[in-house]
Structure 1
Amino acid sequence: MNKYSPLSSVLADVNVANGLPNEHYIDPVVFAEERKSVLYANWSGIGFGKDVPEEGDAKPVDFLGMPLLIVRDRDGEIGVFQNTCRHRGMILVDTPRKIGGAIRCPYHSWCYSLKGELRATPHVGGPGHNTHKDVDRKDLGLVRVRSYVWRDVIFVNVDGNAPAFEDAHAALMDRWKEFDKPVHHGGETSSFKLEVKTNWKLAVENYCESYHLPWVHPGLNSYSRLEDHYSIEERGHYSGQGTLVYRQLTDQDGATFDDFDGLSDKWNEGAEYVALYPNVLLGVQRDHAFAIVLEPVDQENTVEHIELYYAKSIDETPQHDGLRASNAQLWKTVFEEDVFVVEGMQKGRHGVLFDGGRFSPAMDGPTHNFHHWVASQIENGRAE
């Protein structure tokens, strides 16, 4: 029998449910359980395609203690491998770099192609003998981790058992099919990160609801009011919020960003902000989009990696450099306004008499939807 709180109250209907118990935010044992049952068992975000823009680019990533390596191969495809040599377990790449020829282990110089095949095993059969009958190179390629790139976010399924990404997230891909077109990163000013003293789930919970806007985001709420928002819920997959009042940013000359092509009238003044479970936060507007990958460092610390994207590249629109910088600063201000909230909730989870909290049936549906999903994943893991 599991010694932690039962999750039946979390799986109840929103009008009577409690939130996840305290241990899901502060206990390292439960954090390890969620790593396996929630983050490794589903399609989790680990990075962005813009971080490996050219053939041969490689970037190491620590994903919940697991060393991974993102590589763009000679065909321009992105692959993700365990960043561990098949010989003696040495880390292969320790800093982002361009791989000119092969991925070479710094220990005994075993070499791998950008697709992970083992290509060279120097002296494996003794000095001057680079082969051995009992070392079959075709069986000793790098361990590939299932990956998928959508909206420039690199998703992985570590345990290999999740449905195909296109099946697991068909609902959101269909909902946003009008945005199924290339996105262009906004450059250096459009990339920033926040190191936040909170559990990763609290960042999801705060992002997916609009209930807090009047008090936490008064500037944003001044034109995109609470009553202009609606909840988005797809049980078991994603939740978030939309607004009926999106105002394009303009520069001193009245110029705006180029719109994404072929959008329906819904997006003239509409925008949507969705948490794609478990740890990716996405936003779409008529003229730009953003993606946030939440990196769970431990049960009480999270890094938010935030990237902004546009319909046209920076090379095509140098006249918008200032507008992009202003837009990034606006969003950075909004996201920074949330920090005290998610850090405050984290501190509050150390209140030993807190019961997980209650939900507003009218306003907290997206947050309850996420709690329900997390609890379902944990229950599934405990039943195995």
Structure 2
Amino acid sequence: MEIQDLSAVRRPVEEALGLPNSHYTDPAQFEAEKKAVLFASWSGLAVAADVPEPGDAVPMSFLGMPLLLLRDKQGQVRVFYNTCRHRGMILVEEPRKIEGAIRCPYHSWCYATDGRLVTTPHVGGPGQNTHDAVKRSELGLIEVRSHIWRDVVFINVSGDAAPFEEVHADLLKRWEEVEKPVYHGGTDSKFTLEVNTNWKLAVENYCESYHLPWVHPGLNSYSRLEDHYNIAEPGQYSGQGTLVYRQLKSHNGDTFPDFDGLSDKWDEGAEYIAVYPNVLLGAQRDHAFAIVLEPVAIDQTIEHIHLYYAAPEIEQGLRARNTQLWKTVFEEDVFVVEGMQRGRHAVGFDGGRFSPAMDGPTHCFHDWVASRYEIANANQSTAAE
């Protein structure tokens, strides 16, 4: 694909244009984006709560790649290609518990939950389960590099990104105070939204508060636009914070238990940050959430929303109300991100302009995406020399 000039995107926010239309509408650009942005970075895949017990396995797709999210018998969460090393057969078709080994349904090659190839029946001929040319020690499942933070399973498909702790050192420092044990609320604390939009528009909408008065009038009635502040760390992350977080209360005045040891900042403060490229996180005094954006196609995204608490046992009624509250808020954004997706088909649209006062977080994200292409193009040029 022809290398684009994205210098206008990388200008200061006062002068910058947004990403060109093709980044939202062109399938060829989507293919380029996979490698330059999503495969080369630490992208969100799932949450560890999807595989709560040793042996739990969930097949999933990430940008067309068949993957297997698995908690091995020792309790470690791993991500493998869901592909047998023999003839490329899919290993696991449905979520299930691996009681013994992972057995390929084609020729019965079997793998331990840590990925080791352990049996190869008849590989040397009938009754001969070994062959000198088939070295089991070299044919384990291909593991995808992964890292877990705030229960989100991040993966680096290319395998050459800097360590997660290095890439996100500033964010880890910013949120070290809320780095507490979190407990997934269970089946009534997760939901998905299927949205007809490009995944980047979901990020852009999430990381700014400019739209609150018109899109979230209920939320804005107690957490007003003027109570919010921008968070923008070029090259790293962006989002928004509020100074007036209001705890949800039951009919008798009960609230969720707080995370231990928080400073006064979190009494009425909360922050909502986009961890580039595709993870949206929220931190409050009494609960947290994680949204993993699954890019299905250039104009299709599935939002996987999970809610977490400071204790493993939370009163069900209040928990359910909290889930519904957040679902309502996030559903209010659907018409916006879908409307922007349709709007991107206006061929004369130049990517749009930013409000320097209000759109810093969104511009920060656009600048980061453009920088990923610059790195990919530089690497491509070096390889061609």
- 1: CA distance between counterparts of 2:340 and 2:36? 23
Partner letter of residue 140 of structure 1? L
1:78-117 → structure 2 map (5 Å cutoff): 78-117=77-116
Aligned with 1:24: secondary structure? helix
1:12-91 → structure 2 map (5 Å cutoff): 12-91=11-90
Determine the structure 2 residue equivalent to 1:258.
Answer: 257
- How far did 1:237 drift? 1.1
Task: Tell me, yes or no, if the aligned pair for 2:81 and 2:141 is still in contact at 8 Å.
Answer: yes
- 1: CA distance between counterparts of 2:235 and 2:56? 35
- How far did 1:187 drift? 1.4
Aligned with 1:166: secondary structure? helix
Q: Mind listing any 5+ residue stretches in structure 2 that lack a counterpart?
A: 381-385
- How far did 1:183 drift? 0.5
Partner letter of residue 359 of structure 2? D
Determine the structure 2 residue equivalent to 1:369.
Answer: 364
- How far did 1:4 drift? 6.0
1:244-283 → structure 2 map (5 Å cutoff): 244-283=243-282
- How far did 1:210 drift? 0.4
Determine the structure 1 residue equivalent to 2:120.
Answer: 121
- 2: CA distance between counterparts of 1:76 and 1:370? 35
Task: Tell me, yes or no, if the aligned pair for 1:5 and 1:21 is still in contact at 8 Å.
Answer: no
Counterpart of 1:339 (choices 312, 334, 338) is 334
- 1: CA distance between counterparts of 2:297 and 2:56? 28
- 1: CA distance between counterparts of 2:170 and 2:129? 51
1:316-331 → structure 2 map (5 Å cutoff): 317=314, 320-331=315-326
Determine the structure 1 residue equivalent to 2:235.
Answer: 236
Task: Tell me, yes or no, if the aligned pair for 1:60 and 1:68 is still in contact at 8 Å.
Answer: yes
Determine the structure 1 residue equivalent to 2:294.
Answer: 295
1:205-244 → structure 2 map (5 Å cutoff): 205-244=204-243
Partner letter of residue 183 of structure 2? H
- 2: CA distance between counterparts of 1:98 and 1:179? 33
- How far did 1:234 drift? 1.2
- 2: CA distance between counterparts of 1:258 and 1:104? 44
Determine the structure 1 residue equivalent to 2:376.
Answer: 381
Determine the structure 2 residue equivalent to 1:348.
Answer: 343
User: What's the TM-score, normalizing by structure 2?
Assistant: 0.97
User: What's the TM-score, normalizing by structure 1?
Assistant: 0.98
Task: Tell me, yes or no, if the aligned pair for 2:3 and 2:377 is still in contact at 8 Å.
Answer: no
Partner letter of residue 322 of structure 1? G
Q: Deviations over 1:115-162 (max 9, x none)?
A: 100000000000000000111000000101100111110000000010
Determine the structure 1 residue equivalent to 2:383.
Answer: none
Q: Deviations over 1:47-90 (max 9, x none)?
A: 01111000000011100001111110111110111111000000
Partner letter of residue 324 of structure 1? R
- State the superposition RMSD in angstroms: 0.8
Partner letter of residue 82 of structure 1? Y
Q: Deviations over 1:297-355 (max 9, x none)?
A: 000000000000000113xx3xx110000010000000000000000000000000000
How many corresponding residue pairs?
379
Q: Deviations over 1:196-252 (max 9, x none)?
A: 000000000000000000000000001111110000011111000000000000000
Q: Mind listing any 5+ residue stretches in structure 1 that lack a counterpart?
A: none
- 1: CA distance between counterparts of 2:180 and 2:113? 27
- How far did 1:3 drift? 3.7
- How far did 1:5 drift? 4.4
Aligned with 2:201: secondary structure? helix
Partner letter of residue 138 of structure 1? S
Partner letter of residue 344 of structure 1? G
- How far did 1:112 drift? 0.5
